[in-house]
Amino acid sequence: MLLQLGIHNLALIDEVLIEFSGGMNVLTGETGAGKSIVVDAVNLVLGERADRDLIANGKNKAVVEAVFDITENVAVQKALGELEIPQDEGMLSVSRELMSTGRNICRVNGVILPLQMLRRISDQLLDIHGQHEHQLLLDAANHLSYLDQFAADEIEPLLAQTSAAFEEWHGAALKLAKYRRTVSEREQRKDMLRFQLEELQNANLTAGEEEELEQKKVFFRNSGKIRSALDEACSMLASNPDGSSTAVELVRECLHTLSTITGYSEEYEKVHNRITGLGYELEDAAGELEKLRDASTFDTSEAEYVEGRIDQLRRLSRKYGSTTNEMIAYRDKIAGELGELDSAEEQIENLEKSYRTYGKKLLERSRQLSQKRHEAASVFEAKMEEQLHDLGMKHARITISFGTLREGERIEQRFSANGYDQAEMMFCANLGQPLKPLAKVASGGELSRIMLALKNLSAQKPGIPRSMVFDEIDTGISGRMAQVVAEKMSEIGDHHQVICVSHLPQIAAMADEQFLVRKFDENGATHTEVTKLTREQRIAELARMVGGADVESESSMRHAGQMLSDADARKAVLRAAVDHESK
């Protein structure tokens, strides 16, 4: 139940705090006073699209905050638990800030949430009916949803099963369509992949080979310098071609000379031994150096191969990947795709089997759903006619017409997540007239009463949000019909909170609480205020709504007071009847 609605700097409203009660709350006021702003504020709390133009002129932001009692709203409590939002002893605060910069912030119990998550909660808080729902009612595509809502306990499980079966069938259909490419498209793709695969396979790629090739390229480009240095080093150490002594030979002569005196001192012997070790190391190093020199011969053909291989890898890298590792990965990938394309016929056959299997499953689920809808339709029709009769349409008839297949149409063409049913409400308000499509024969006042009947049926179902908002549902009705609608809304108010924007005195009189929305000028600007009316103030407002030459005359006030007293008496009778039926 909506307890409070705070509005700050929204359109013409500077600062308003509205405290609603249970039962039937009615907002009245002159046309253009700003009653719709209150409904806009409620819509913002529910997560509807925000328009910066709603921010009051000259202000940087607008704020709307609503406080709800969710003590008995299990669905909201569950949603809060799933979103890990703290609960405050059965109270829920929802706020929305609109910034002139275009940014808007939503908070639930102080926790900032994105709009999508806010709507998960708000959908369980309020049910709003406005003029736009007349348009929904005029569209036959929406009629099936009213039946599904009416019989939700029985239909929702079947609807969930049908939706799951549709997802399987639709997924198989998409895959099948993907594989059912034309032969030419598939062959063109295969030709291209074969060419690429052959090019990569012929390249005999080895992971990381480009690093080794680069090293070889450096060697071949500096081979002259390398060979010259190795030749000179070898001649110095062990193999001097000009006949002069080498380092190895000099060390040997040194050792021979020292050997003649080693017996005279341990120090001489130690030095001799050290030089002996160095001689061995020097001879070994000289041998390694000669091997490197002998192996460093310049091979023109190998050098050309290295240069050509590097160029080849660079060309391939521009098409298939910057490194050999990436090119090998791409090669393996296209080899796999080529294998899939080669087995496409087998894949298509398997997918066709899956498609048929899922189609049979979907058809069975859709038939079960359709059967339950047909069973629920007769009950729905009877209940709706009962409601319409209560609303003064004593001869009204309404039926659900299920569409049949047109000539040449297949049942698969109607498959959807909602089954295959197509339905339209057929309506007749008068005796002796045939049933015709609702959109073609219902007047504005009849549409209002049909929608009210639908809402009243919904209100009797468990799980429907406790608060229901009606934005000028009284459009197109007057006189006795206005009184009937007012009594029906009062009935809804007995077990749901009702918040109604109305211009009819009959509806205002039946309210448990009445609020006046008034526009006034002050300091060169127009403002809107919302005031909760006392009984005396309600009488004055009812007199204004009834109209006349002098709304403040004694007769007008007396008539308005009598309306209010009659409404109180009528509510007492209606509630007594409900209490009697419940016993």
**What's the pLDDT tens digit per position in 461-474?**
665 556 888 886 77
Of 12-21, 135-144, 180-189, least confident by mean pLDDT is 180-189
- pLDDT recorded at residue 456: 81
Residue 239 lies in a domain: yes
Residue 274 lies in a domain: yes
- pLDDT recorded at residue 97: 92
Mean pLDDT of 131-136: 65
Q: How many helices (H) and strands (E) does the chain have?
A: 20, 15
Give pLDDT tens digits for 282-310. Answer: 888 888 887 887 776 666 777 778 788 88
Instruction: List helix spans (H) across 479-553.
Output: 479-495, 505-509, 535-546
SS3 of 292-354: HHHHCCCCHHHHHHHHHHHHHHHHHHHHHCCCHHHHHHHHHHHHHHHHHHHCHHHHHHHHHHH
Q: Do 117 and 213 have their domain in common?
A: no
User: What CA–CA distance (Å, rounded) separates 458 from 452?
Assistant: 10
- Percent of the residues in the chain that have a pLDDT greater than 70, as a whole number: 93
Residue-by-residue DSSP string for 44-85: HHTTPPP-GGGBPTT-SEEEEEEEEE-TT-HHHHHHHHHTT-
Residue 580 pLDDT greater than 70, yes or no? no
| Total domains in the fold of the chain | 2
End-to-end CA distance of the chain: 26
How would residue 488 be classed by pLDDT, with cut points 50, 70 and 90? confident
Give the dihedral sign, CA 50/51/52/55. Answer: negative
How would residue 499 be classed by pLDDT, with cut points 50, 70 and 90? very high
User: What CA–CA distance (Å, rounded) separates 134 from 471?
Assistant: 11
* H or E, element range at 451: helix 444-459
- pLDDT recorded at residue 2: 92
User: How far, CA to CA in Å, does 140 sit from each of 146, 171, 401, 440?
Assistant: 11, 28, 10, 11
- pLDDT recorded at residue 357: 95
CB of 526 closer than 8 Å to CB of 519: yes
- pLDDT recorded at residue 163: 95
User: What CA–CA distance (Å, rounded) separates 262 from 283?
Assistant: 23
Q: What is the CATH number of the domain that holds 527?
A: 3.40.50.300
- pLDDT recorded at residue 238: 73
User: How far, CA to CA in Å, does 428 sit from each of 93, 125, 176, 231?
Assistant: 45, 34, 47, 114
User: What CA–CA distance (Å, rounded) separates 311 from 308?
Assistant: 5
Q: Do 223 and 121 have their domain in common?
A: no
User: What CA–CA distance (Å, rounded) separates 345 from 505?
Assistant: 73
Of 36-50, 457-471, 520-534, 549-563, least confident by mean pLDDT is 457-471
Residue 71 lies in a domain: yes
Domain boundary among 298, 322, 346: 322
How would residue 130 be classed by pLDDT, with cut points 50, 70 and 90? low
Mean pLDDT of 124-130: 77
- pLDDT recorded at residue 156: 92
CB of 5 closer than 8 Å to CB of 469: no
579 against 369, higher pLDDT: 369
Give the distance from CA 454 to its chain's centroid: 29
User: What CA–CA distance (Å, rounded) separates 548 from 554?
Assistant: 12
Of 209-213, 303-307, 496-500, least confident by mean pLDDT is 303-307
User: What CA–CA distance (Å, rounded) separates 571 from 583?
Assistant: 18
CB of 527 closer than 8 Å to CB of 519: yes
- pLDDT recorded at residue 354: 92
Phi first, then psi: give them for residue 240, nearest 5 degrees: -85, 115
CB of 575 closer than 8 Å to CB of 562: no
Give the number of other CB atoms < 10 A from CB of residue 428.
19
User: What CA–CA distance (Å, rounded) separates 250 from 267?
Assistant: 21
Domain boundary among 322, 343, 363: 322
Phi first, then psi: give them for residue 517, nearest 5 degrees: -100, 115
Please, is 438 exposed, middle or buried when counting C-beta atoms within 10 Å of its C-beta (0-12, 13-18, 19+)?
buried
Of 48-52, 130-134, 532-536, least confident by mean pLDDT is 130-134
Phi first, then psi: give them for residue 419, nearest 5 degrees: 95, -155
498 against 495, higher pLDDT: 498
Neighbour order of strands in the sheet with 397-402: 397-402, 423-428, 436-437
How would residue 138 be classed by pLDDT, with cut points 50, 70 and 90? confident
Residue 530 lies in a domain: yes
pTM for the predicted model, two decimal places: 0.63
- pLDDT recorded at residue 579: 66
User: What CA–CA distance (Å, rounded) separates 445 from 482?
Assistant: 10
Residue 421 lies in a domain: no
User: How far, CA to CA in Å, does 114 sit from each of 107, 119, 126?
Assistant: 9, 9, 19
- pLDDT recorded at residue 220: 74
How would residue 81 be classed by pLDDT, with cut points 50, 70 and 90? confident
Of 185-199, 227-241, 482-496, least confident by mean pLDDT is 227-241
Domain that holds residue 469: 1-125+465-583
Mean pLDDT of 397-414: 87
CB of 40 closer than 8 Å to CB of 10: yes
Residue 5 lies in a domain: yes
User: What CA–CA distance (Å, rounded) separates 493 from 20?
Assistant: 13
CB of 116 closer than 8 Å to CB of 127: no
- pLDDT recorded at residue 484: 84
Residue 329 lies in a domain: no
DSSP 8-state assignment for residue 522: E
Residue 348 pLDDT greater than 90, yes or no? no
- pLDDT recorded at residue 437: 92
- Averaged pLDDT score across all residues of the chain: 85
* H or E, element range at 419: none
Q: Helix, strand, or coil here: 517? A: strand
Q: Which two tokens stand for residue 518?
A: 């008034």
Of 20-24, 139-143, 220-224, 520-524, least confident by mean pLDDT is 220-224
Q: Do 119 and 9 have their domain in common?
A: yes
Domain boundary among 322, 343, 371: 322
Give pLDDT tens digits for 417-463. Answer: 999 999 999 999 888 889 999 988 888 778 878 888 888 887 766 65
CB of 60 closer than 8 Å to CB of 99: yes
Residue 113 lies in a domain: yes
User: What CA–CA distance (Å, rounded) separates 57 from 46?
Assistant: 24
Q: Do 218 and 106 have their domain in common?
A: no
Residue 375 pLDDT greater than 90, yes or no? yes
How would residue 479 be classed by pLDDT, with cut points 50, 70 and 90? confident
Q: Do 121 and 213 have their domain in common?
A: no
Give the dihedral sign, CA 127/131/137/142. Answer: negative
* H or E, element range at 573: helix 554-582
Contacts of 216 (CB under 8 A, 6+ apart): 302, 306
Q: Do 117 and 2 have their domain in common?
A: yes
Q: Do 121 and 217 have their domain in common?
A: no
Residue 132 pLDDT greater than 70, yes or no? no
User: How far, CA to CA in Å, does 366 sit from each of 141, 163, 354?
Assistant: 17, 9, 18
